[in-house]
């Protein structure tokens, strides 16, 4: 049953209540390997579902455009102070509605339409909002895109430097959505320094690892840091922009009044709760185990002949190129979902296939680590993935159903916040 209990929802809108209940059960029974997802604590769920959703508070603490901020101001101030303490930054803005608006605020703060912005190309693992063609950021700004080396699958820092010197972007993004290796923040900072560009570290995927000491921090290298709060950081759907003092005012003005209206106060409260959780020894242990699980899973998948982009992982994320298995990413992902293992199909660098039907799948270990799975269990997961991918090619639904049963048996033994 969903926790907190949804008795009022069930009485007033049984249709929606039933769907939420079913989703909670689905999350309980599946091996969730989508690299951007997690399970938040019940405390985070309670804050997200609180009466704070009723309140408008355009502006910032002490400078609001609406009355009645006696309790909202301290909520937002607590979230800011906790973000500053967890990440060791001079300034934090906790109002962006999500990761995409947080990145848009960076454009508004430091660029004029038509200016050059550099980021990793989407097919190499960058995010849409780093200047990719179909995004507003690539249509209204001049996107300069770097990639990875074909021989290593890793960021090509020589290319980054060459492109930077050639196009002189005012902003350089590092970080992305499908990067299985440690981001070399000092190297990016050196390149940005040569052309006086603002280096923005988008740590959306790895924020929880950084908070827990399992990935180097960009602080001291990137003056501006954007992040979602709902991936490895294990908070609500939301985002933050952190920076040094010099860039603070431009970023705050860009978020409000530049881009947004009233902040989502229930989300701000839940971000504060998640940031408090991120200071605990348990969270540190979780962050390190996320990486240990990913490394163990990568090793077990490699041992089964899977072709991993970059050959492995340093963080929570693994990218598999399925070309040698003779199955495309999409049918593999769909078969795995039927087998109780949820991940997403993904382009791989230099993918000859289209983004909607690419060659790879992406997986991550944050959610299964939150559930309590350990490195010793990763060979079992790899064996199921191997069998299900084979079954996808052979149209073998019997094997897929058998795996789904075994997955359900495993996962129902592990408690889940949000389900009792
Ligand atoms: C690196 C990165 N930046 C930004 C975003 C955008 O976040 P949102 O989906 O919350 O807009 C994502 C989301 O996946 C991401 O991975």
What interhelical angle do 329-338 and 378-394 show, nearest 10? 110
Radius of gyration in angstroms for the set of CA atoms belonging to the chain, rounded to a whole number: 22
Distance 228 CA to ligand 1 centre (A): 6
Is the C-beta atom of 170 inside 6 A of ligand 1? no
Q: 84 an active-site residue?
A: no
Is the C-beta atom of 125 inside 6 A of ligand 1? no
pTM of the model: 0.98
Q: What is the mean pLDDT of the chain?
A: 97
Whether the predicted pLDDT of 355 surpasses 90: no
DSSP-derived letter for residue 197 is P
Catalytic residue among 129, 137, 227, 228: 228
Write out pLDDT tens, residues 153-199. 999 999 999 999 999 999 999 999 999 999 999 999 999 999 999 99
Give the contacts of 90 (CB within 8 A, at least 6 positions apart).
Answer: 84, 243, 244, 245, 248
Q: Which CATH class is domain 48-277?
A: alpha beta
Cβ 243 vs Cβ 225: under 8 Å: yes
Distance 229 CA to ligand 1 centre (A): 10
Which pLDDT does position 185 carry in this prediction?
A: 98
Q: 231 an active-site residue?
A: yes
pLDDT mean over 102-107 = 98
Write out pLDDT tens, residues 48-104. 999 999 999 999 999 999 999 999 999 999 999 999 999 999 999 999 999 999 999
Is the C-beta atom of 129 inside 6 A of ligand 1? yes
Enclosing H/E stretch for 407: helix 397-411
Is the C-beta atom of 231 inside 6 A of ligand 1? no
Is the C-beta atom of 227 inside 6 A of ligand 1? no
Write out pLDDT tens, residues 274-320. 999 999 999 999 999 999 999 999 999 999 999 999 999 999 999 99
261: Cα within 13 Å, side-chain hemisphere: 3
Which pLDDT does position 64 carry in this prediction?
A: 98
Question: Does CATH number 3.90.550.10 belong to domain 30-37+285-411?
Answer: no
Tell me if 30-37+285-411 shares its fold with 48-277.
Answer: no
Closest Cα to atom 7, ligand 1: which residue?
99
Cβ 333 vs Cβ 414: under 8 Å: no
The share of the chain scoring above pLDDT 90, in percent, equals 99
Q: How far apart are CA 325 and CA 390, in angstroms?
A: 8
Is the C-beta atom of 228 inside 6 A of ligand 1? yes
Nearest atom of ligand 1 to the alpha carbon of 230: 10
Distance 420 CA to ligand 1 centre (A): 30
Q: Where are the domains of the chain?
A: 30-37+285-411, 48-277
pLDDT mean over 122-147 = 96
Closest Cα to atom 12, ligand 1: which residue?
99
Q: In Å, how far are 82, 106, 157, 159 from 168, measured between CA atoms?
A: 35, 17, 15, 13
């Amino acid at each position: 049953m969903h926790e907190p209990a949804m008795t009022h929802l069930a009485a007033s809108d049984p249709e929606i209540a039933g769907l939420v209940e079913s989703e909670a059960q689905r999350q309980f029974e599946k091996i969730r390997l989508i690299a951007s997802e997690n399970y938040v604590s019940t405390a985070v769920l309670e804050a997200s579902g609180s009466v704070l959703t009723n309140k408008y508070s355009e502006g910032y603490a002490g400078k609001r455009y609406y009355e009645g901020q006696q309790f909202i101001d301290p909520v937002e101030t607590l979230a800011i102070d906790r973000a500053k303490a967890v990440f060791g930054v001079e300034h934090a803005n906790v109002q962006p509605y999500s990761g995409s608006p947080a990145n848009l605020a960076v454009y508004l703060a430091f660029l004029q339409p038509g200016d050059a912005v550099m980021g990793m190309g989407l097919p190499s693992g960058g995010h849409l909002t780093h200047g990719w063609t179909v995004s507003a950021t690539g249509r209204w700004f001049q996107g300069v895109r770097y990639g990875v080396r074909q021989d290593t699958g890793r960021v090509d820092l020589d290319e980054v430097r060459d492109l930077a010197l050639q196009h002189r972007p005012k902003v350089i993004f590092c970080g992305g959505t499908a990067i299985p290796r440690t981001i070399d923040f000092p190297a990016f900072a050196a390149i940005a320094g040569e052309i006086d560009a603002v280096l923005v570290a988008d740590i959306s995927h790895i924020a929880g690892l950084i908070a827990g000491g399992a990935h180097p921090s960009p602080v001291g290298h990137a003056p501006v840091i954007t992040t979602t709060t709902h991936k490895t950081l294990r908070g609500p759907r939301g985002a933050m922009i952190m920076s040094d003092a010099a860039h603070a005012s431009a970023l705050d003005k860009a978020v409000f009044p530049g881009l947004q209206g009233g902040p989502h106060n229930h989300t701000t409260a839940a971000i504060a709760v998640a940031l408090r959780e991120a200071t605990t020894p348990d969270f540190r242990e979780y962050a390190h185990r996320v990486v240990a699980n990913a490394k163990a899973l990568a090793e077990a998948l490699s041992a089964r002949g899977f072709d991993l982009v970059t050959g492995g992982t340093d963080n929570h994320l693994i990218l598999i190129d399925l070309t040698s298995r003779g199955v495309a990413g999409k049918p593999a992902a769909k078969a795995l979902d039927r087998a109780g293992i949820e991940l997403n199909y993904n382009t791989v660098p230099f993918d000859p296939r289209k983004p909607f039907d690419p060659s790879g799948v992406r997986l991550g270990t944050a959610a299964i680590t939150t559930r309590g799975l350990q490195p010793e269990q990763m060979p079992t997961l790899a064996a199921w993935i191997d069998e299900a991918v084979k079954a996808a090619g052979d149209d073998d639904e019997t094997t897929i159903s058998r795996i789904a049963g075994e997955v359900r048996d495993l996962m129902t033994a592990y408690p889940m916040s949000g389900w009792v």
